Amino acid sequence: MSGEGPPRAANSAPAAGSAAAQRQAWGGQTTAADLSAAELARAPLGRPTRHPDRYDAALLFAVPRAPQRSALGIGSALPFSGADVWTAYELTWLDEGGKPQVALATFEVPADSPSIVESKSVKLYLGSFAQTPFAGMTDVAATIEHDLTHACGARVGVTLRGPPAFGSQSIRELEGESLDDLRVACTAYDVEPGSLSANGATTSQVLTSRLFRSVCPVTGQPDIASVQIAYRGPRIDREGLLRYLVSYRCHAGFHEHCVERIFVDVASRCRTERLTVLARFTRRGGLDINPFRTNAGAPNPDNVRTARQ
């Protein structure tokens, strides 16, 4: 990672002492190999915070992936590839004449990055652009890419689309056969992998559900998603798969970790030869997060929002 500083905004210097104050209060851009519950409690998520409107990269709070992956038996050799694709709907800044500008932003965080960024810290970070002049959209994108790359420890792709492109944004539901009309009794509401099973001849299927819900591990707020599972292997019992997805309903976990747990559980218990898991979560704070994991060599999906997003 380059030691060069971020691209400079037209007036990019944060208020005096603000970066130092945030690092002291929240631990700054944490990149340690581990992050304890006490350290996570210092993150801005779930706490009253100021809402700065002058650019401040120190607002980003990184959360290492390793501890949660270790709990799933995932080591340094990942069993999947993929990315976490974020969409930011509320990005705004000033041009050099002081006129507000707006754009939709997409961030692609690679699955092999050492860290993710905590969502409220991203909200606060993007909010800090509001009263900061930039020379143009290219400079804004380059600044965000530099800062997210530094926080995550791997290159994060950033794309900005201005108002002329807004009309081309479409809505599309996830492809596949829905599980949601199955008549099943659900009694487990914290992850129950024992519901999963597969038998019979090898098949290839794409299955979906809009019934997924988990909760934020810090605030307890609900996280709602549509989930798509594409696999090749013994036929997965659909009722059991739906019960399994519903069993996340009261589970506390970050979006990315929930998708990786689904991947690990389905791959192990259903003995899949190839597996792809995509979840598209509804937005909170003007951000949606869409984790994608695959061992089938599938490319990252198009970032097309569902109706609920």
Query: pLDDT, tens digit, for every residue of 151-184?
Result: 999 999 999 999 999 999 999 999 999 999 999 9
Short-list 233, 241, 270, CA closest to 178: 241
> What pLDDT band is residue 281 in, cutting at 50, 70 and 90?
very high
Q: Is residue 288 part of a domain?
A: yes
Beta-bridged to residue 281, according to DSSP, are: 225
Whether 216 is catalytic is yes
Structural domains counted in the chain: 2
In a domain, 190, yes or no: yes
**Which entry of 84, 139, 216, 270 is annotated as an active-site residue?**
216
Are 184 and 164 found together in one domain? no
Residues 164, 201: one domain?
A: no
Q: Is residue 12 part of a domain?
A: no
Task: Mark whether 134 and 33 lie in a shared domain.
Answer: yes
143-158 pLDDT per residue, tens: 999 999 999 999 999 9
Alpha carbon of residue 308 to chain centroid: 16
The pLDDT of residue 114 is 98
Rounded to whole angstroms, the Cα distance separating 26 from 84 reads 23
Same domain as 218, residue 79: no
pLDDT at 272 over 80: yes
152 is catalytic: no
- Among residues 134, 168, 202, which one ends one of the domains? 168
Last residue of a domain, one of 168, 187, 207: 168
| CATH code of the domain covering residue 65 | 3.30.1130.10
My answer on whether 164 and 35 are in the same domain is yes
Q: Is residue 287 part of a domain?
A: yes
Active site residue: 56, 139, 223, 288, which one?
223
* Per-residue confidence (pLDDT) for residue 40, from 0 to 100: 55
* Alpha carbon distance 256, 223 (integer Å): 12
pLDDT tens, residue by residue, 205-228:
999 999 999 999 888 899 999 999
pLDDT band, very low/low/confident/very high, at 9 (cuts 50, 70, 90)? low
What are the pLDDT digits (tens) for 27-51? 333 333 334 454 555 555 555 557 8
Res. 285: pLDDT tops 50: yes
Looking at the fold, whether 139 and 24 belong to one and the same domain comes out as: yes
Pick 282 or 14 by higher pLDDT: 282
10 occurs within a structural domain: no
Clarify whether residues 89 and 132 are in a common domain. Answer: yes
- Domain assignment of residue 308, yes or no: no
For the record, the structure tokens of 84 come out as 């976490």
Q: Which of 147, 168, 189 is the last residue of a domain?
A: 168
Nearest residue to 247 (alpha-carbon basis) of 290, 193, 184, 181:
193
| 21 has a pLDDT exceeding 90 | no
Looking at the fold, whether 111 and 221 belong to one and the same domain comes out as no
159 and 182 fall within a common domain: no
Taking the model in full, what pTM does it have?
Answer: 0.87
Domain limits at 263? 177-294
